Amino acid sequence: MKTLIARLGPDTVRVLALLLVLAAVVAFFASQIDNYFNARLFNRISTSVAIIAVIAVGQAFVVLTRNIDLSVGSIVGCVAYFLGGLVAAYPGIPAPLVPLIAMAFGMAFGLVNGFLVARFKLPSIIVTLATLAIFRSLLVEFSDGSSITTGSLPPWLVEFARIDAFEIGGLRFRWLVVIALAVVIVAHIFLTRFRAGRRFYAVGSNPDAAQFAGIDVAGTVMRAFLISGALSGLAAFLFLSRFGNITVVAGLGLELSAVGAVVVGGVNIFGGSGTVIGVLIGATLINLLDTSLVRWELVSEFWRDAVLGLLILLAVALNTLLTKRLLARPKTALPPPSTTPPPATNAAKDAP
């Protein structure tokens, strides 16, 4: 067992622990709710997970570098509104260009965050707390309270979120889902196989050491915020397509879900370790709980948030415990220091 774990590595162990929790949750609800485990569940969960997963992957890049991006909800709201206005005014824009424009918009917002955090060395939690409010007030100012409606959008955009890309045995993969999966896979390969990707881990686990090793720390942090902005922009495109109606409160509170998915997914909030596969499972887990609790007859709908919050806490506690237990092995087989979570007492100093 120990040698098997040693060979797998801590990240894989964490993902396996998460899958175990996910399986336990599915098994639990399958025993409680009639006809729970079927293709419709997959279709429903996968569609609603898609948007949050894209945002959460961007968030993961930021959190890996020991920072946090609380402004993603406002970025999604702004980009969805501006993009909606743009395609409504110029319906002739070629369809493949639209998501790219959305990502460029999002990157512009990410640039503001990145500039303040990376260049001026300001704490990201303060900067993004501020830009959360600033971007939202920009939206209010520009929209003047008006909203984007489904009717003003070109038909292809409204249809897009409802079209299946392919189907495997009743499991329907909508384009929304395919895009989200593609983002996760590309991000995973980039983070694990490319030197540029490993830099995010290096910067997060020890910024000073990374600096000495010749890594451009400020540049890496900047790139993390640009990626987070771009993916929030892409999510805004999916959001616009799925909901059609965009008001000034669009995307409000998405930052909580994104950070939630990232921490449940086992990314260390103090940087340096975690996987985007874990983040995808984290997002799925939260969404699965949320959706399943609605259908659980034993609890009324008012119990949803109460149980959800406690289960998130439980999932994180369980994951922390499992990982600690599984990774506690003889010194010779210790993983690199960067992958062990810092002791709780040390946590405060390293806060993002």
Partner 1 sequence: MSVAAIRRALVSWEGFLLLVLVALITLNAFASPFFLTLSNQINLFQLSIEKVIVALIMTLVIINGEIDLSVASIMGLSACAFGFLFQIGVPASVAVALVLALGVFCGAFNAFFVTVAGIPSLVVTLATLIAFRGFARVLVEDRGIGDFPDWFDALGQNGLLGPLPFAMLLFFALAVFLFVVLQRSAFGRKLYFIGSNADVAAYSGVDVKRIKATVFVASGLVSALAGLLFAARVGAVRGDVALGFELDIITIVLLGGVSIFGGTGTIVGTVLSILIVLNLRNGMALVNITGHIQTGVLGVLLILSVLVPNIQRWFGSLFPRERTEP
Q: Are 176 and 272 in contact (CB under 8 A)?
A: no
**Could you say whether residue 129 binds partner 1 (CB under 8 A)?**
yes
Tell whether residue 304 is a contact of partner 1 (CB under 8 A): yes
Question: Phi/psi class of residue 144: alpha, beta or left (left: φ > 0; alpha: ψ in -120 to 50)?
Answer: left
How many residues touch partner 1 under the rule CB under 8 A: the total is: 52
Interface residue with partner 1, options 20, 171, 196, 310 (CB under 8 A): 310
345 binds partner 1 (CB under 8 A): yes
Tokens 């086992």 — which residue?
A: 266
Helix (H) or strand (E) holding 86: helix 72-89
CA 17 to chain centre: 19
| Residue 171 is a binding residue for partner 1 (CB under 8 A) | no
SS3 90: coil
Q: Under the criterion CB under 8 A, does residue 270 sit at the interface with partner 1?
A: yes
> Is residue 328 a contact residue for partner 1 (CB under 8 A)?
no
Q: In the bound complex, what is the minimum distance in angstroms from residue 178's beta carbon to partner 1?
A: 30
Residue 313 in the binding site for partner 1 (CB under 8 A): yes
Q: Which 99-128 positions form the footprint of partner 1 (CB under 8 A)?
A: 116, 120-123, 125-127
Helix%, strand%, coil% for the chain, nearest 5: 75, 5, 25
Q: Which of 171, 186, 317, 333 binds partner 1 (CB under 8 A)?
A: 317
Smaller CB distance to partner 1: residue 95 or 347?
Answer: 347
Report how far residue 339's alpha carbon sits from residue 277's, in angstroms, rounded to the nearest whole number. Answer: 16
CB 233 within 8 A of CB 102: yes
Q: Which of residues 232-261 bind partner 1 (CB under 8 A)?
A: 248, 256, 259-260
Q: Is 320 in the site for partner 1 (CB under 8 A)?
A: yes
Contacts of 90 (CB under 8 A, 6+ apart): none
Nearest distance from C-beta of residue 136 to partner 1, angstroms: 6
Q: What residues contact 275, with CB distance under 8 A and at least 6 apart?
A: 11, 14, 15, 188, 191, 192, 265, 266, 267
List the one residue from 39, 141, 166, 294 that touches partner 1 (CB under 8 A): 141
The position carrying tokens 């922009």 is: 233
294 binds partner 1 (CB under 8 A): no
Binding residue for partner 1, selected from 132, 161, 179, 280, defined by CB under 8 A: 132
Widest pairwise Cα distance in the chain:
64
Work out which of 8, 25, 88, 307 binds partner 1, going by CB under 8 A: 307
Q: Is 168 in the site for partner 1 (CB under 8 A)?
A: no
Assess 263 for contact with partner 1 (CB under 8 A): yes
Contacts of 350 (CB under 8 A, 6+ apart): 66, 270, 271, 342
Contact footprint for partner 1 (CB under 8 A)? 68, 116, 120-123, 125-127, 129-134, 136-141, 248, 256, 259-260, 263, 269-270, 300, 302-310, 312-313, 316-317, 320-321, 343-349, 351
